[in-house]
């Protein structure tokens, strides 16, 4: 007889495993179904820990250290001689980081009394779940009181550049190169394309990024996007906007990319090509035809603001539902779903979901951009302060970028924070907390920031909103 569970979570990524752990903390009997095999072993953590957020950050850090050692240490009086990179060692370190974290998640589940069911899960009619073990054992039908769907997403494939896992790869393949390609093409100038392009450019590749849109990072504040493009271009990324790839051809160990840019047909040949044009919900084998779950036209599971689906007692979270495909968003939705199941009035504040691009310098934002606020009919005031005159940034040799605030001109309420700079992904949390507590710009202006720190730029940017920045000449305002 199958084990009876209060809750079954299908998917062991960040959203799924956090939901499972929180439910166990609340006293529920929980099972988490996860089928992933990574490096020949069952692995928790989903895309993020195995082939996404974590391994990419490991490579980003390694490649940054390599480039910094090559080009930046001389200014500090540090001589290094010839600097080399061992890709095998770098990749082994990445694997070790991944295994440490995924193993840690498995231990967390075990320590919380959660059953990790290694295999596939399918939602059936009547809120039942079919579990098929990876080891070939007989399928089981589970009858939990609640189900959370957390199966995540997969890369979008495009017909003009079919992934062959040799010359043309997706984001997963781009994390596993065993040598630095002399020339590298990247289709897509989004978050993933910029991060992966940055990794291999730092290690020595000549990188060209093709972006079909005629604008760079259109989801970001225009000032932030403009400066980011300038900085990354100066670093050596060849970012080609309005460049739509029309075909690819592999021959003699090379891949030729044919594209149309501003009406002109062009082509260029590379050693490798990365396709990263976005991700889509992964629902293959997740739902039976009579499960009763409503999907959107784009294949997302239809949910309300609390992640409830069209079936009572069934929730869906993370990349499977509307909103940004971010691990931290999935995590909070997983916890919210469990809290709602437990009778708590939990709610994710979707207005304070942070976005980060882990290039160097980092790019991060939270809340509304200046343009988005104006589109909502809000009269705005903005303030901006550069790291180029921040003492800590100059001492660290990291002067690129700025902090920008967007506020309501009538109420002084903070609407958004935008950062390009070293540690931007951490610094932007100051704006997130301020937004969560409905702070005014004056609240930030009245706070004391330690000197010398990068965060002083946050204080100065807040002061700049009202023309009061101390360490920058301010235009007189009427």
Give the C-alpha separation, 308 to 341, whole Å: 10
Helices (H), 269-361: 327-341
Cα 398 from Cα 72, distance rounded (Å):
10
- Cα–Cα dist 421/390, whole Å: 11
Regarding whether 286 and 259 lie in a shared domain, the answer is no
What percent of the chain has pLDDT above 90? 98
φ and ψ of 70, to 5 deg: -65, -40
Distance in angstroms (rounded) separating the CA atoms of residues 318 and 13: 9
Question: pLDDT tens, 100-139?
Answer: 999 999 999 999 999 999 999 999 999 999 999 999 999 9
In the predicted model, what is the mean pLDDT of the chain? 97
Q: Can you tell me the mean pLDDT for 363-386?
A: 98
Specify whether 328 is located in the same domain as 196.
no
User: Angle at the Cα of 155 (from 151 to 157), degrees rounded to 5?
Assistant: 130
pLDDT for residue 386 is more than 80: yes
> Do residues 208 and 307 both lie within one domain?
no
The span from the CA of 78 to the CA of 355, in Å, is 35
The whole-number pLDDT of residue 205 equals: 98
In the β-sheet with 7-10, what is the strand arrangement from edge to edge? 140-142, 129-133, 115-123, 30-34, 7-10, 146-149, 314-316
Position 3 scores a pLDDT of 74
pLDDT digits (tens, 9 = 90+) for 419-437: 999 999 999 999 999 999 9
Question: Angle 14-25/87-111 helices, nearest 10 degrees?
Answer: 30
Domain boundary among 324, 350, 376: 350
Residue 379 lies in a domain: yes
- The pLDDT value given to residue 475: 80
- Smallest CA-to-CA distance from 62 within 199, 231, 204, 232 is with 199
Domain count, the chain: 3
Mean pLDDT of 405-412: 98
Each residue's pLDDT tens digit, 70-109: 999 999 999 988 999 999 999 999 999 999 999 999 999 9
Residues 31 and 149 in one domain: yes
Across residues 145-163, what is the average pLDDT? 97
The three-class DSSP label of residue 169 is strand
Are residues 345 and 289 located together in one domain of the fold? yes
Same-domain status, 11 and 35 = yes
The pLDDT confidence band at residue 180, using thresholds 50, 70 and 90, is very high
Among candidate residues 38, 76, 328, 451, the one labeled active-site is: 451
pLDDT at 440 over 90: yes
Q: Examine the domain organization and report whether 217 and 341 are in the same domain.
A: no
CATH number assigned to the domain comprising residue 191 = 3.50.50.60
Residue 477 binned pLDDT confidence (cut-offs 50, 70, 90):
low
| Same domain as 313, residue 388 | no
Q: 287 with 330, same domain?
A: yes
Among 277, 306, 339, the domain-final residue is: 277
User: pLDDT, tens digit, for every residue of 203-246?
Assistant: 999 999 999 999 999 999 999 999 999 999 999 999 999 999 99
pLDDT value at 251 more than 90: yes
Which residues of 317-370 form beta strands (DSSP E)? Answer: 355-357, 362-367
Q: What gap in Å lies between CA 233 and CA 421, rounded to an integer? A: 15
Whether residue 1 lies inside any domain: the answer is no
Residue 476 has a pLDDT of: 73
Average pLDDT over residues 297-304: 97
272 and 289 inside one domain: no
What whole-number percentage of the chain has pLDDT above 70? 99
Do both 144 and 286 map to the same domain? yes
Q: What is residue 1's predicted lDDT score, i.e. its pLDDT? A: 42
Confidence of residue 478 (pLDDT cuts 50, 70, 90): low
pTM of the model as a whole = 0.96
Residue numbers of the domain that contains 235: 168-277
Please determine, for residue 189, whether its predicted confidence score (pLDDT) is greater than 50: yes
What's the CATH code of the domain at 371? Answer: 3.30.390.30
Tell me, yes or no, whether 469 lies in a domain.
Answer: no
- Mean pLDDT of the region 361-378: 98
467, 476 in Cβ contact below 8 A? yes
Encode pLDDT of 326-343 as tens digits.
Answer: 999 999 999 999 999 999
- Catalytic status, residue 76: no
Whether the predicted pLDDT of 13 surpasses 50: yes
Q: In the prediction, which pLDDT does 406 show? A: 98
- Upper half-sphere CA count for residue 114 (Cβ side, 13 Å): 32
Q: Is 208 helix (H, G, I), strand (E, B) or coil?
A: strand
Whether residue 249 is found in the same domain as residue 325:
no
Last residue of a domain, one of 256, 277, 298: 277
What mean pLDDT is predicted for residues 6-16?
A: 98
Residue 69's SS3 state is: helix
pLDDT in tens, 27-80: 999 999 999 999 999 999 999 999 999 999 999 999 999 999 999 999 999 998
Torsion of CA 390, 396, 397, 398, to 10 degrees: -60
Report pLDDT for 360: 97
């Amino acid at each position: 007889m199958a084990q009876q569970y209060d809750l079954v979570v299908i998917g062991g990524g960040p959203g799924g495993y956090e939901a499972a752990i929180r439910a166990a903390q609340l006293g529920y009997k929980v099972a988490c179904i996860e089928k992933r095999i990574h490096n020949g072993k069952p692995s928790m953590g989903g895309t993020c820990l195995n082939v996404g957020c974590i391994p990419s950050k490991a490579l980003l850090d390694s490649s940054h250290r390599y480039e910094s050692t090559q080009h930046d240490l001389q200014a500090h009086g540090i001589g290094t001689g010839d600097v080399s990179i061992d890709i095998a060692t770098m990749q082994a370190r990445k694997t070790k980081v991944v295994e440490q974290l995924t193993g840690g998640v498995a231990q967390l589940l075990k320590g919380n009394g959660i059953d990790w069911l290694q295999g596939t899960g399918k939602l059936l009619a009547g809120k039942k779940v079919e579990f098929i073990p990876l080891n070939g054992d007989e399928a089981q039908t589970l009858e939990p009181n609640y189900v959370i769907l957390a199966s995540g997403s997969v890369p979008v494939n495009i017909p003009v550049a079919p992934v062959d896992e040799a010359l043309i790869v997706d984001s997963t393949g781009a994390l596993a190169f065993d040598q630095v390609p002399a020339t590298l093409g990247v289709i897509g100038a989004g978050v993933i394309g910029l991060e992966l392009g940055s990794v291999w450019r730092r290690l020595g590749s000549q990188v060209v990024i093709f972006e079909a849109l005629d604008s760079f990072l259109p989801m970001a504040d225009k000032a932030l996007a403009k400066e980011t493009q300038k900085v990354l271009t100066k670093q050596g990324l060849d970012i080609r906007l309005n460049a739509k790839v029309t075909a690819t051809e592999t021959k003699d160990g090379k891949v030729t990319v044919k594209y149309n840019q501003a009406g002109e047909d062009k082509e260029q040949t590379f050693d490798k090509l990365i396709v990263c044009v976005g991700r889509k919900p992964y629902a293959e084998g997740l739902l039976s035809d009579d499960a009763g779950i409503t999907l959107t036209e784009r294949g997302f599971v239809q949910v309300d603001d609390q992640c409830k689906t069209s079936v009572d007692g069934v929730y869906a979270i993370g990349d499977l539902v509307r909103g940004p495909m971010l691990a931290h968003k999935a995590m909070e939705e997983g916890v919210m779903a469990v809290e709602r199941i437990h009778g708590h009035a939990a709610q994710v504040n979707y207005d304070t979901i942070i976005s980060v691009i882990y290039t160097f310098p980092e790019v991060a934002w939270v809340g509304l951009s200046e343009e988005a606020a104006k589109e909502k009919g809000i009269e705005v005031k903005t303030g901006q302060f550069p790291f180029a005159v921040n003492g800590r940034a100059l001492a660290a040799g990291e002067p690129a970028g700025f902090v920008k605030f967007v506020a309501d001109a009538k109420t002084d309420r903070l609407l958004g924070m935008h950062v390009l700079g070293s540690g931007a992904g951490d610094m932007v949390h100051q704006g997130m907390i301020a937004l969560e507590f409905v702070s005014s710009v004056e609240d930030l202006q009245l706070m004391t920031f330690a000197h010398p720190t990068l965060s002083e730029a946050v204080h100065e940017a807040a002061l700049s909103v009202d023309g009061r920045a101390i360490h920058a000449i301010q235009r007189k305002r009427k």
